[in-house]
Amino acid sequence: MAGFAAPLRDMEFVFTELAGLSPILSLLGEDYSAELVSTVLAEAGKIAEDVIAPLNHPGDKQGAKLENGKVRVADGWQPAYDTLVEGNWLGLPFPAEHGGMGLPWLVNAAASELWASASTAFALSTILTQGATHAIISCGSEQQKATYLPKLVSGEWAGTMVLTEAGAGSDLAAVRTKAVKKGDHYLISGQKIFITYGDHEMTPNIIHMVLARTPDAPPGVKGISLFIVPKFLVNEDGSLGARNDVRPVSLEHKLGIHASPTAVMSFGDNEGAIGYLVGEEGRGLEFMFIMMNNARLNVGLQGVALAERAYQQALGYARDRVQGKAIGKSERGPIIDHPDVRRLLFTMKARTEAMRALAYVEAAALDLAEHETTAEKKKQGQLLADFLNPIVKGWCTETGIKVASDGVQVHGGMGFIEETGAAQHYRDVRITAIYEGTTAIQANDLINRKLGRDQGAVAKSVLAEVKAQAVKLKGSSKPELALIGRAMEEAHDVAIKAIDWTLAAGAEDARLPAAASVPLLMLLGTVLGGHQMARAAEIAAARLAESDFYVAKLATAQHYAVHVLPEALALARTVTEGSKTVMSLESALF
Ligand SMILES: Cc1cc2nc3c(=O)[nH]c(=O)nc-3n(C[C@H](O)[C@H](O)[C@H](O)COP(=O)(O)OP(=O)(O)OC[C@H]3O[C@@H](n4cnc5c(N)ncnc54)[C@H](O)[C@@H]3O)c2cc1C
């Protein structure tokens, strides 16, 4: 069983010391206090540990099933979902005026991480509903808000995100699902694939957010619109009406997240599925991005969550498993005493804490974008969140996979056997680097939109803080901090070179920066995560006598500086020197 106490302590530390919880709470008003946040976090941890985590392994074995046209979720899923609805947990980040708790996105990030750590397959049932809710709050009409928000915010109804088709995955411009106007609504027809929680009976209604194309729409992304397609139509008095013309056709057999039903969905097999336009025609992708950015942060958090779970699992095993006599010991003992097992565990821990800190800093930036007092300050928050979004999604998921793989390694042969659970974490985390936009799609976003739109200005202002912190630590009289400062300065310098190369190389050949974009994304994640660890180290170094938490934090930051940060140097070399080889071999010669 995963231990949830350790991540809870680290979450509180990141909240208060790195992500700036208290200024955010001040912006929200006097109803919101640090004590309230602590209570909420502790309760979320209890639900993760007592209610959700016990379902993870049995759910993986049982999976979701499609029987007689109905999706049956795994045993225990329904009561666990009901627990979240009863506690209004899905409404955690939404305004009180819509029935939510009105808490910061930062706190929601921690709850999302806890639930994904307990069971990613289960937690997926919540994040898409939150994404649909967010999209309707941001882009829906007053009538749509009144009809759908009360039930979506509470989680009484679920939401889905319906983009992908057989011919339209990364390339959503190729969406072919049709939407034909008929009076006050549209008739939707077409087949969508890979729809997470596309159908189930956990809620009496499901609100599908569907991308489709109107008949006279221009080709490409400008012709795509967003529609609300309820599974059951909603009467004027809010009661449920007729079943809409949408149904699950089959469920996918997957490598991981077996208990999350991933459905092929058919819209409009008969009279056409009734759908309601969100906003205006042609702005579907723009609106969908509101939902996707939210979901991308949540998927980045799944990478953190499964890394943490894999680490806790491996740590428990390493303390128990006796094998050999460790160097310097007189008797056989637990494998945690072997230097290489310690290296694996420490690197897992260091990567996980760095990822958590960076992801929470993005969530906090979203809070500032929403609640700051001036337009300029809101904009600063949004720009930071926008810049970090592809990095958190791409780097935290790819790194989560590495950590889960190391978790298997710590278990030796038992890691490859299903009963320990280590293999399930590795299988479950693999999808995170694929859905909500593959790592390559995140990297395209990073270089084209996030760096390209301001010639790297936001990136460089963030990196200027990295440099200032590194120089300060380098001059510290404490050798541990000076070491971290030197490593951070070196990593910063190569990151700047890599960004400058990326901005310039496109002029020679637009394919060159694209060929280096994933290494650049991984480089920036490594450096920005390292920066959070360096900030943590400075705080911890001043409080070593207060608690062992700070002793471990300082040591973990040092470990990151020497075991993880050097990867930035290699990645920078790949960025600046590696693109030409990528393009040098004709496709036919591969
Ligand atoms: C379990 C699961 C759940 C999912 N849930 C949902 C859901 O709820 N709703 C939904 O709409 N979709 C969902 N998806 C779909 C998912 O978002 C897509 O699978 C994903 O976006 C990739 O699309 P694709 O599978 O068509 O791969 P492709 O687009 O065919 O990509 C194949 C490879 O080509 C690369 N590639 C493609 N285009 C580019 C490019 N321009 N630049 C660089 N590299 C590129 C990709 O990175 C990848 O490595 C889910 C998928 C799975 C497996």
pTM over 0.85: yes
Look at residue 148 and tell me whether its pLDDT is greater than 70. yes
Segment 368-401, tens digit of pLDDT: 999 999 999 999 999 999 999 999 999 999 999 9
436 included as an active-site residue:
yes
Distance (Å, whole) CA 139 – CA 25 = 26
Segment 466-509, tens digit of pLDDT: 999 999 999 999 999 999 999 999 999 999 999 999 999 998 89
330 CA → ligand 1 middle, Å: 53
DSSP letters, 89-152, are GGGTTS-GGGTS----HHHHHHHHHHHHHH-HHHHHHHHHHHHHHHHHHHH--HHHHHHHHHHH
β-strands 70-72, 65-67 pairing = antiparallel
Contact 462, 398 (CB under 8 A): no
Contact 349, 556 (CB under 8 A): yes
Segment 245-264, tens digit of pLDDT: 999 999 999 999 999 999 99
Determine the average pLDDT of the residues in 33-55: 97
Segment 399-427, tens digit of pLDDT: 999 999 999 999 999 999 999 999 999 99
194 CA → ligand 1 middle, Å: 9
Rg (CA), the chain: 24
- Lowest average pLDDT, out of 292-296, 480-484, 535-539, goes to 292-296
Categorize the per-residue pLDDT at 101 as very low, low, confident or very high, splitting at 50, 70 and 90.
very high
Look at residue 3 and tell me whether its pLDDT is greater than 80. no
Categorize the per-residue pLDDT at 461 as very low, low, confident or very high, splitting at 50, 70 and 90.
very high
Mean pLDDT, the chain, rounded, equals 96
Pocket of ligand 1 (CB under 6 A): 161-164, 169-170, 194-196, 254, 262, 431, 434-438, 440-441, 444
Catalytic residue among 17, 398, 436, 490: 436
Categorize the per-residue pLDDT at 348 as very low, low, confident or very high, splitting at 50, 70 and 90.
very high
CA 118 to the chain's CA centroid: 15
Distance (Å, whole) CA 496 – CA 190 = 46
Q: Ligand 1: which of 164, 255, 267 to mutate, most ligand atoms within 8 Å of CB?
A: 164
Categorize the per-residue pLDDT at 1 as very low, low, confident or very high, splitting at 50, 70 and 90.
very low
- pLDDT of 382: 95
Look at residue 90 and tell me whether its pLDDT is greater than 50. yes
Q: Ligand 1: which of 128, 165, 170 to mutate, most ligand atoms within 8 Å of CB?
A: 170
Helix (H, G, I), strand (E, B) or coil at 249: strand
Categorize the per-residue pLDDT at 2 as very low, low, confident or very high, splitting at 50, 70 and 90.
very low
Categorize the per-residue pLDDT at 289 as very low, low, confident or very high, splitting at 50, 70 and 90.
confident
Categorize the per-residue pLDDT at 292 as very low, low, confident or very high, splitting at 50, 70 and 90.
confident
